[in-house]
Amino acid sequence: MARKPRTPRWLEAARRREEPVPEGSRADWLARALGRAGVMPRAEAEQAIREGRVEVDGRVERDPFAPVHAGSAVRVDGQPRALDARTRALMFHKPAGVVVHGSDPEGIGTVFERLRSVLPPELRGHEWYAVGRLDRDTTGLLLFTNEERLVAHATSPETHVPKRYVVEVAGTPSETVLQRLREGVVLEDGPTRPAGARLLAPSRVELVLTEGRHHQVKRMLAAVGHPVRTLHREAVGELSLDVPEGAYRLLTDAEVEQGLGFRGIPSPSGRGPG
The residues annotated as belonging to the active site are 135
Cβ atoms of 152 and 130 within 8 Å: the answer is no
Cβ atoms of 262 and 153 within 8 Å: the answer is yes
Cβ atoms of 49 and 59 within 8 Å: the answer is no
Distance CA 76, CA 81 (A): 7
Name which of 219, 191, 221, 192 is nearest 206 in CA terms: 221
CB-based contacts of 238: which residues, under 8 Å, 6+ apart?
Answer: 258, 259, 260
**Single-letter amino acid code for the residue at 1:** M
